[in-house]
Amino acid sequence: MAYLPSKIKSPQSWKNKPQRKKINQTKLFLINLFQKILKKANFAMKISQFLPKRRKGKIDFKKILFYAVVLILIFFLAGSISGLAIFAWFSRELPDPGKILDRQIVQSTKIYDRTGQTILYEIHGDQKRSLIELKDIPEKVKWAAIAIEDKDFYKHHGFDLRGILRAIWVNLARGGKIQGGSTITQQFIKNSILSSEKTYTRKIKELVLSYQMERKFTKDQILQLYFNEIPYGSTAYGIQSAAQTFFGKDAKNLDLAEGALLAALPKAPTYYSPYGSHKEELLGRQKYILDLMVEQGYITKEEAEEAKAIDIMSRIVPRRENILAPHFVMYVKEILTEKYGEKTVDQGGLKVYTTLDLDKQKIAEEAIAKNIEKNVEKYNAYNAALVALDPKTGEILAMVGSKDYFAEPEPEGCKPGLDCRFEPNVNVAIRLRQPGSSFKPIVYAAAFQKGYTPETILFDVVTTFKTETKDYRPNNYDGKEHGPVTMRAALAGSLNIPAVKTIYLAGISNVLDLADKLGYTTLTDRSRFGLSLVLGGGEVKLLEHVAAFGTFANDGSLVKTQVILKVEDGKGKILEEKKHEEKKVFEPQIARQITSVLSDNAARSFIFGSKSPLVLAERPVAAKTGTTNDWRDGWTIGYTPSLVAGVWVGNNDNKEMKRGADGVYVAAPIWNSFMSQALANSPVEQFPAPAPSGATKPILSGKIEGETTVKIDKASGKLATELTPPTFIEEKIYRDLHSILHYVNKDDPNGPYPENPAADPQYTAWEEAVQRWAKEQNYTTETPPTEYDDLHVLSNQPTIKIVSPENNVTWNNRNISVQVQASAPRGLGRVEYFIDGKLLKTVFHYPFNLNTAIPNSFKNGFHALKAVAYDDIDNSNSDEISFNLLAPKLPPSISWLSPRDNSSFYSSFFPLTFEVLISDPEEIAEIHFYYKDSNPHLIGAIFNLSENPLTIKWQDPPEAGTYEIYANIIDKEGNSYQSQKISLTIL
């Protein structure tokens, strides 16, 4: 009671007065109104006396005016009587204004997790209230509140009729409940006696009580009551408590900048809280108030600019409370206050059961904490946020709005929204950030709806896109061109050029229509967006982005995002319960096509590799990364059929991270850590596969139209025949290459081929890019040959005959000699000798006879010896005999290929490489190499003889001198043989 002005009668005296007092007040109001009406009628009569008298045959304007005035007064009287009747009706059961001191029993509101077992946060009903007299509030602080809340406070009688009519008009136009237009008196009534419900009934009661209060109190008394009653948020009621809570000082010591900031809070204390996610909006409102004060004459322009220049947020006293999942809780509180009002949420004893899964929330917080320091050190990325929800129910299961709600901003003393790389209380999950390539699935879904398919071929070649303003020339992240690619590969590999082509084919308006249906609320100004929208040119909220991806996981149906399961009032009455709201956005086929692409690890491996963080071990998962220009934002969004999660990484002030801070490096590890743990104990779920596309054109089903592959004889350049040897056959692709616009009408891809493709405004530019690329790649556009190979013919085949030894000869020695007679019309090039189909040796010189040793790998017994003669273009012919081998094995040998015998080397040439050719490598187990002066020294050993010739390095040079080099060969039976020696001199 102490905060009431001293001249006001006690509330008890008000309560004891009979009900007829209100009736007398109504009568008095009616009498005053009738007096005003009669005065107006009398004034109208006086005016009529000055009008000219009616002349004969003339219109009597005097009488017309008189009747018009009377008619207007009748309507005015009827309306006034109706209004007074309404006034009297709503006055029947209203409390006396003295009820302002009869405070309701305050109860704390409790916010629970989804189990109802854990309290995430308790909004304490015990208000912080310190009373203050109006004279102790600085004048500029007082006028700051009046300037923004009620500039005509000292002129009206409790309510602003023009403001109310304006608010009614706006709300009727928007189809919502009445709001706005409240005076300071009304705000006091709303917060002290009535609820904050947004109904016309409550508004009328508020007007009645405001009128009554204005009759009882002076303006200064009402203003003092307002400053001591109004909620400023964070349990601070009244300006004295707010000053102590937010600035750690008494209200009498507030300066202009601080007073303007506090004046900004009462409109929506939770939304504008200095501890919340909307600090930029709070600062904007503070500056707006300062401008209003200049406009209304309370301060000078210089004073306003001086106050704006103050880093006011650095003066805010830090807050630390016992709270779990703080960003989620504050998001819930913001929703609650919008529905029920600050007073009910702060004091009404609500029980709020949320959708939060506390286990998943802890996993999310740990995943960010585990990875954020690495991001800071490696990429200058100081913050991260994560949202996870159930795509089948729309329930938010985890929400982390920053790396640490209770940490200090970085760098120390930074200005929020200007140069803070990290702001702890800002919930980035509900702030605007550019999504980069993570928006591409939305664009491809719009294209698939139109008839394009994951197999549709696009040319990934640098292309200049013609727009109404200026030319647009995007590039891929890797700076390369990949030629013809499918939409599957383009989306999976996040290629930019095909993505821009896709949004053109899909249509920007169609993409924005789809975004609206998917629940994006930030892409409404369509004039802002062009082709770059597909690369993340429009800001989105992480929460809405994750929910949109949930539509893909839920077979094309979007479930309304839910944060509250149930709300009970202090008496246990259920105020609201979750309702499942679901709508089909696109057909399941579209969702399954997108999921098929985003879960195809093989399709994205050419960019991301096969073992990227987008893969979950033994569990199908669909995922997409995103990175904005200059690496300001890194994203990863991914899902299974039952869980969808998204991660954002970056800096609050939108400063660039280090070059290379791609979403797959900064965000995907956090996402992978969360998903792996969150799904650890859940069954593996499979995605339903899409049906075949049923595309009607080759270009839509993965085939390049105008492309022909034929086998060509390299010697003649003509079509190969059965006589053309494989060594002279090449497959050659003949292409009449064109962009997709040559084959489809972009708005009806499965319809008829375009009669005039060049009519499309992008056709010329797309064609030029394709032809330029084809030329650079040496793609021929000539027509295939029609004639056949005339060089590989029977008449050009060589002749060959083995003249010695005879057929079925027996060889008792492995050193053999073979003589042949061979010739060819084009000249003989070589003769190849085979034993049992295995090449033994090739002879290139006349008379093409063979002198060699049969390797030990050929066992004793009958074998086939074949000699094949070739000319210069591999026309060939052969002769063959049999022989019986009855010979002992030859000792293994080494042929020194390099270095040569008697070579010299400086020690700077080391390490020195030896290359040797081994006979019968299949029979050898290991080889040891030595150099010898007076004693042998090991150079090295080879145990894997899969290659021939073999190489081994002599690492360290010996002292200057001449050395013998040799090898010790051990076969698989354990026998040891020494090779021939070579001599090397080290200088």
Distance between CA atoms of 477 and 627, rounded to whole angstroms? 9
Which one from 91, 130, 149, 923 is the annotated catalytic residue? 149
Distance between CA atoms of 606 and 614, rounded to whole angstroms? 14
- Reply yes or no on whether 576 is catalytic: no
Side chain identity, residue 826: R
Distance between CA atoms of 606 and 316, rounded to whole angstroms? 51
Distance between CA atoms of 510 and 447, rounded to whole angstroms? 9
- Pairing relationship of beta strands 809-811 and 876-885 according to DSSP bridges: parallel
Which one from 130, 192, 277, 437 is the annotated catalytic residue? 437
Distance between CA atoms of 400 and 383, rounded to whole angstroms? 11
DSSP sequence for 50-104: TSPPPPTTS--HHHHHHHHHHHHHHHHHHHHHHHHHHHHHHHTTPPPGGGGGSPP
Distance between CA atoms of 506 and 508, rounded to whole angstroms? 7
Distance between CA atoms of 488 and 361, rounded to whole angstroms? 34
> Nearest Cα to 254, choosing from 318, 184, 310, 321?
310
Distance between CA atoms of 623 and 441, rounded to whole angstroms? 10
Instruction: State the first-to-last Cα distance of the chain, in angstroms, to the nearest integer.
Output: 109
Residue 784 neighbours by CB under 8 Å, 6+ apart = 708, 710, 719, 732, 734
Task: Classify 457 in phi/psi space as left (phi over 0), alpha (psi -120 to 50) or beta.
Answer: beta
Residue 955 neighbours by CB under 8 Å, 6+ apart = 910, 911, 940
Work out the angle between the directed axes of helices 588-598 and 542-553 (0-180°, nearest 10): 110
Distance between CA atoms of 313 and 888, rounded to whole angstroms? 97
Residue 984's DSSP bridge partners are 903, 963
Residue 418 neighbours by CB under 8 Å, 6+ apart = 653
- Pairing relationship of beta strands 622-627 and 582-584 according to DSSP bridges: unpaired
Determine phi and psi for 730, rounding to 5 degrees. Answer: -130, 145
- Reply yes or no on whether 334 is catalytic: no
Most distant CA pair in the chain, distance: 157
CB 119 within 8 A of CB 110: yes
Distance between CA atoms of 387 and 404, rounded to whole angstroms? 15
Residue 727 neighbours by CB under 8 Å, 6+ apart = 874
Distance between CA atoms of 492 and 527, rounded to whole angstroms? 29
CA distances from 452 to 85, 611, 623, 701 (A): 66, 30, 21, 9
Distance between CA atoms of 870 and 467, rounded to whole angstroms? 62
Determine phi and psi for 212, rounding to 5 degrees. Answer: -65, -40
Long-range contact set of residues 246-254: C-beta below 8 Å, sequence gap at least 24? 246/274, 246/316, 246/317, 247/315, 247/316, 247/317, 248/317, 251/132, 251/136, 251/137, 251/138, 251/141, 252/132, 252/136, 252/137, 252/138, 254/138, 254/141
> Could you give the 3-state DSSP secondary structure of residue 904?
strand
What is the enclosing helix (H) or strand (E) of 490? helix 487-492
Determine phi and psi for 163, rounding to 5 degrees. Answer: -65, -40
Q: What Rg, from alpha-carbon coordinates, does the chain have?
A: 45
> Nearest Cα to 351, choosing from 360, 361, 340?
340
> Nearest Cα to 201, choosing from 311, 94, 291?
94
- Residues annotated as catalytic (active site), given as ranges: 149, 437
